[in-house]
A and B are shown apart, each in its own frame.
Chain A
């Protein structure tokens, strides 16, 4: 009798294991089907020590994954403009949200950097004549030119849309990798409708505002203080920039606060134990979220437990100043500083003070900014690329006022590099206090050509990395937003 009971118990336990693992397996299989993009291939550089860098892309598109316009009713719910506006290209394919998240493998705090959408950068793996511009446009520009190529090959419809988006994702990811100096291991892309669906599936989110706001562009109309927002309101909350002191930079804090609230909610409401809610989130993810095919989401969930425990800190990458390029308002950034901040933060070797502009800069290869003042189109990019290949750090690449002769100017600590570069151009380098410390600025003249460029001194066998930089806590980009709760933001 005891033997029969024991056998029955054993069979019951075995059946339980099969049933539970069966549910889990089908859920996991659904998760695996999310990974449909091959924008990150196996040969791409990866983070070391088991850490993971994930790029979150928020696409300001009013179209679905097949390129069809979203229904008018949905546009109304999203406060995303009219059908005519969509036809006129409102929103386009701008990546208005770019957040680079670093999850260490040792359970320590994760860090996320928001990249302001108007940062003026050099594009990588982008197609077409526009090779630099606002980082938000790398996606749309590449998509447009890739689709031009594909159309000539007879590709059309949803295939055209999908392949265009794949090329666009590659360009965005490559541009972010170059800007930050760290690999992007995985990405997740969501558009307006997807964000709305996600927030709705979560049952809305709790947020906290320092001041009351009202904005007709985004539809935001909220009192000050803590409040619960539904899906439509949550979208307005993360989209609003008009009426905020620092515009888009303050908007990045809204997005960070939203993510913090979501992780807080996942933990406190036990979403992972609620099958109905999990199925709702999974349905949204399958419909609206695109991730790379190589991402083991379930494996990541183990690594990222701390995110729902609040061990995450958000920052916004700093800008140097606002500028105007080709009639567009842009953020002028210091790429070397950005690289220094991201690389040192992700590697855990955060500097405790801003690096001095003298001896520290001269100990490492200098940063070279190349501005085209009338030379041949594309020459600035080619020279900057060639200098980067020779060991210099690539800085700003753009245009300047037309000039007859090439000039080389330098900031504090970059005199040696400046003299080398100036010699190649047959000019004399001059010190200029308006040039950033550690930088050499080349202003190409009308008759400039590709010279025989010098090699920067660098440690043997290693790729030059940016100087470690402290994360600035003051400035237009603001300070950190701590995860794990409901932070109050502007």
Chain B
């Protein structure tokens, strides 16, 4: 798969997870956390060897967008004012720190292992 294709896989899995969290939990939660990690691993495994480095910086950025999406889907009151949305977004993204780190590290591990195997 191309680099952009791999990113789309990550975005797609995260988006579905965000929607599920927004509808069931009222905001970003465990489903999005797990979806982000899964998406990062799947994207890292399925992207071509030449383009897999593109995946490395993606998890935090994808999570930031999807967490806000999940929050707005879950509680439309938060989008009433920009200040309220900004404060809520900061909270949602902060709570996903562990998931972002896990997704980034696992993605890097998969890529490093693939790169090492490719050499040999």
Binding site for B on A (CB under 8 A): 7, 10-11, 13-15, 17-18, 21-22, 24-25, 28, 105-107, 298-299, 301-302, 305
Q: B97–A302 contact, CB under 8 A?
A: no
Cβ of B10 to closest chain A Cβ, rounded Å: 13
Given contacts A11-B56, A13-B61, contact A18 B97 (CB under 8 A): yes
Q: A18–B95 contact, CB under 8 A?
A: no
Q: A21–B97 contact, CB under 8 A?
A: yes
Tell me which residues from 72 to 120 in chain B have a Cβ below 8 Å from any Cβ of chain A: 77-78, 80-81, 83-84, 87-88, 90-91, 93-98, 100-101, 104
Top 7 closest A-B pairs, CB basis? A24-B94, A25-B97, A14-B57, A17-B60, A11-B57, A21-B97, A14-B60
Q: B61–A21 contact, CB under 8 A?
A: no
Q: A21–B58 contact, CB under 8 A?
A: no
Cβ of B107 to closest chain A Cβ, rounded Å: 11
A11 partner residues in chain B, CB cutoff 8 A: 56-57
B91 partner residues in chain A, CB cutoff 8 A: 28, 298-299, 302
Q: A18–B54 contact, CB under 8 A?
A: no
Cβ of B92 to closest chain A Cβ, rounded Å: 10
- Name which residue of chain A comes closest to B27, CB basis: A299
B97 partner residues in chain A, CB cutoff 8 A: 18, 21-22, 24-25
Instruction: Tell yes or no: B46 within 8 A of A by CB.
Output: no
- Name which residue of chain A comes closest to B53, CB basis: A7
Determine the distance from Cα of A17 to Cα of B58 in the docked complex, in whole angstroms: 11
Given contacts A14-B60, A17-B100, A21-B60, contact A305 B87 (CB under 8 A): yes
- Name which residue of chain B comes closest to A301, CB basis: B87
Q: A21–B94 contact, CB under 8 A?
A: yes
Q: B87–A18 contact, CB under 8 A?
A: no
Cβ of B74 to closest chain A Cβ, rounded Å: 12
Q: B94–A13 contact, CB under 8 A?
A: no
Determine the distance from Cα of A301 to Cα of B91 in the docked complex, in whole angstroms: 10
Cβ of A266 to closest chain B Cβ, rounded Å: 14
Q: Which of A17, A22, A24, A298 contacts B61 (CB 8 A)?
A: A17
Determine the distance from Cα of A365 to Cα of B90 in the docked complex, in whole angstroms: 49
Given contacts A18-B97, A18-B101, A302-B84, contact A24 B90 (CB under 8 A): yes
Q: Which of A7, A14, A28 contacts B94 (CB 8 A)?
A: A28
Q: B54–A25 contact, CB under 8 A?
A: no
Q: B61–A14 contact, CB under 8 A?
A: yes
A302 partner residues in chain B, CB cutoff 8 A: 78, 84, 87-88, 91
A299 partner residues in chain B, CB cutoff 8 A: 91
- Name which residue of chain A comes closest to B100, CB basis: A18
- Name which residue of chain A comes closest to B81, CB basis: A107
5 A-B residue pairings within 8 Å (CB atoms): A13-B61, A14-B59, A15-B57, A18-B60, A106-B77
Q: Which of A10, A24, A105 contacts B57 (CB 8 A)?
A: A10
B59 partner residues in chain A, CB cutoff 8 A: 14
- Name which residue of chain B comes closest to A22, CB basis: B97
Determine the distance from Cα of A105 to Cα of B83 in the docked complex, in whole angstroms: 15
Cβ of A279 to closest chain B Cβ, rounded Å: 16
- Which of A21, A301, A305 has the most chain B CB atoms closer than 10 A to its own CB? A21
Determine the distance from Cα of A25 to Cα of B60 in the docked complex, in whole angstroms: 14
A10 partner residues in chain B, CB cutoff 8 A: 57-58, 61
Q: B100–A21 contact, CB under 8 A?
A: yes
- Name which residue of chain A comes closest to B88, CB basis: A302
A24 partner residues in chain B, CB cutoff 8 A: 90, 93-94, 97
Q: Which of B84, B88, B95 contacts A28 (CB 8 A)?
A: B95
Q: A21–B56 contact, CB under 8 A?
A: no
Determine the distance from Cα of A402 to Cα of B78 in the docked complex, in whole angstroms: 61
Q: A25–B94 contact, CB under 8 A?
A: yes
Cβ of B47 to closest chain A Cβ, rounded Å: 14
Determine the distance from Cα of A185 to Cα of B54 in the docked complex, in whole angstroms: 47
Q: A17–B93 contact, CB under 8 A?
A: yes
Q: B77–A105 contact, CB under 8 A?
A: yes
- Which of A25, A298, A305 has the most chain B CB atoms closer than 10 A to its own CB? A25
Given contacts A25-B98, A301-B87, A302-B87, contact A7 B93 (CB under 8 A): no
B100 partner residues in chain A, CB cutoff 8 A: 17-18, 21
Cβ of B40 to closest chain A Cβ, rounded Å: 12
